[in-house]
């Protein structure tokens, strides 16, 4: 499915295909090296020194593990507001997902734009999502497992959600069958009614 950058400008949809890099400031695709031999491969999934070299100098305090039993499961689009906003590094440990980040930083040139990438156990890619973005994903296979790091602890009183199929955002989820969502995500806020708690260059 590859990488996508999507923006709505004067009711026109503009698509920019990207490879590794993307056009939304702050997001980073991480590709840990794999060292192969006849037995398989070895890879460092997390290395502070390597992250710092990529401009990610952040202390992560919590690892989350999400398991989705069925293909076409959609989770999101979620965020955690200040003072407990979270930076994240997302990867897929089993199966595959289409991972999406939406820029919700008021004042950002790419406010309301989204970036999507396929993360899988096979390709080993990871996505760094800084504060000021909402995050969601769709599973592309059964029994998909997502592991992600967070820079702050879960704070239920500060969590929020934007509707996954919002017409203003226009996220291209691909060949989605019958989506599987919980009631909470089905009742999430439409983007036109959303007031962001994030301000570009201030708290994100």
Whether 131 contacts 87, CB under 8 Å:
yes
How many residues in the chain? 204
CA R_g for the chain: 16
Alpha carbon of residue 53 to chain centroid: 21
Please give the C-alpha separations between residue 18 and each of 4, 74, 138, 147, in angstroms, as whole numbers: 6, 24, 20, 24
Encoded tokens for 186: 């089905």
- Residues designated as active site: 78, 148
Tokens of 93: 């440990």
Rounded Cα distance, 168 and 74, in Å: 18
Per DSSP, the three-state class of 26 is coil
End-to-end CA distance of the chain: 29
- Enumerate residues 6+ apart whose C-beta is below 8 A from 35: 41, 42, 43
On the CB side of 125, how many CA atoms lie within 13 Å of its CA?
18
């Amino acid at each position: 499915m590859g990488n996508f950058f999507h923006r709505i400008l004067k009711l026109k949809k503009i698509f920019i295909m990207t490879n590794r890099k993307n056009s939304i400031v702050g997001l980073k695709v991480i590709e840990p090296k794999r060292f192969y031999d006849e037995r398989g491969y070895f890879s460092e999934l997390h290395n502070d020194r390597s992250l710092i070299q990529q401009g990610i100098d952040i202390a992560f305090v919590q690892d989350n593990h999400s398991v989705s039993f069925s293909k076409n499961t959609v989770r999101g689009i979620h965020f955690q507001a200040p003072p407990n906003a979270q930076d994240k590094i997302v990867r897929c440990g089993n199966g595959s997902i289409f991972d999406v980040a939406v820029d919700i930083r008021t004042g950002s040139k790419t406010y309301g734009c989204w970036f999507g990438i396929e993360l899988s156990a096979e390709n080993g890619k990871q996505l760094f999502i800084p504060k000021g973005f909402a995050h969601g994903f769709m599973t592309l296979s059964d029994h998909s497992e997502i592991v992600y790091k967070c820079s702050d602890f879960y704070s239920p009183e500060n969590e929020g959600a934007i509707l996954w199929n919002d017409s203003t955002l226009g996220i291209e989820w691909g060949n989605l069958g019958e989506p599987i969502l919980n009631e909470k995500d089905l009742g999430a806020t439409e983007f036109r009614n959303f007031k962001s708690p994030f301000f570009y260059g201030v708290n994100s």
